[in-house]
Amino acid sequence: MLRVGILTVSDRSAQGIRADASGPVLKEAIQAQNWMVTHQLVVPDETAEIMNALIRWCDSENIDIILTTGGTGFAPRDVTPEATRAVIERLAPGLTEAMLIESLKITPHAMLSRAVAGIRGTTLIINLPGSPKAAIENFQIVLPVLPHAIDLIQNKSSAETGHHLSPSKKQG
């Protein structure tokens, strides 16, 4: 069972002006996979607060995946990608590229995303859009590879299953 943290980045939600809409729909989608949401937090669009939450969750809370939602666009206060880049150790561009490719089939606004995905320690961090609809659509795009990604990140012996050439395709 994967352990997931959801970090909503929104000034208005952090101030109580608007309810967090994306966090709850992501939580429902995660629980539908029989995964556990161990942490859920709303923070304002402040680089230091985003970084602090990501570092704490990665380094101390034994979370497999952190999904951020919000703060990935072009607005001046959209700093989630910068905060994520500051804390990750390795980029995972294939995840964001897949989200972009599939999202462009839905809306041309997808090209305005600056989302980042990467690894810190044994935790995978993925930036998702702030709208509930787009957050779920993007989560569904990366969902099929997440269990295997975590197995690889955590160096589980089962991760290599299926990575070897079949005997008939090996070169001699």
Q: Is the pLDDT of residue 163 over 80?
A: no
CB 6 within 8 A of CB 36: no
Domain that includes residue 59, residue range: 3-169
Q: Is the pLDDT of residue 105 over 70?
A: yes
Q: Is the pLDDT of residue 170 over 80?
A: no
How large a percentage of the chain has pLDDT more than 70?
Answer: 94
The tens digit of pLDDT for each residue in 9-26 reads: 999 999 999 999 999 999
Sign of the torsion formed by the C-alpha atoms of 67, 73, 76 and 82: positive
User: pTM of the prediction?
Assistant: 0.93
Mark 83-104 as b/e (b = at least 16 C-beta within 10 Å): bbeebbeeebeebbebbbeebe
CATH number for position 98: 3.40.980.10
Domain count, the chain: 1
What's the whole-number average pLDDT of the chain?
94
Going by DSSP bridges, is the β-strand pair 117-120/90-91 parallel, antiparallel, or unpaired? antiparallel
Q: Is the pLDDT of residue 159 over 90?
A: no
